[in-house]
Amino acid sequence: MSDFKRLWAPWRIKFVAQGPTRGCFFCRAKRSKEDRRNYVIVRGTAAFVILNRYPYNNGHVMIVPYRHIGKLTLLSPAEWMECLQLSQRLSRRLARVLSPQGFNFGMNLGRVAGAGVVGHLHLHLVPRWHGDTNFMPVLTRTRVMAQSLDELYRLLVE
Q: Return residues touching Zn ion (CB under 5 A).
A: 21, 24, 26-27, 68, 120
User: Whose Cβ is closer to Zn ion: residue 60's or residue 68's?
Assistant: 68
Cβ neighbour number for residue 90 with a 10 Å cutoff: 23
Find the catalytic residue in 60, 68, 122, 124: 122
Of 12 and 28, the one with the shorter C-beta distance to Zn ion is 28
- Look up 60 and say whether it is catalytic: no
Residue 24 or 83 with smaller CB distance to Zn ion: 24
* Closest CA relative to residue 57, chosen from 154, 131, 158: 131
**Helices and strands in the chain, H and E counts:** 6, 5
Please answer whether residues 146 and 58 qualify as being in contact, where contact means their C-beta atoms are separated by less than 8 angstroms: yes
In the complex, the smallest distance separating the C-beta of residue 13 from Zn ion, rounded to whole angstroms, is 20
109 backbone dihedrals φ, ψ, rounded to 5°: -105, 110
Order of strands across the sheet that contains 47-51: 40-43, 47-51, 61-65, 123-128, 102-106
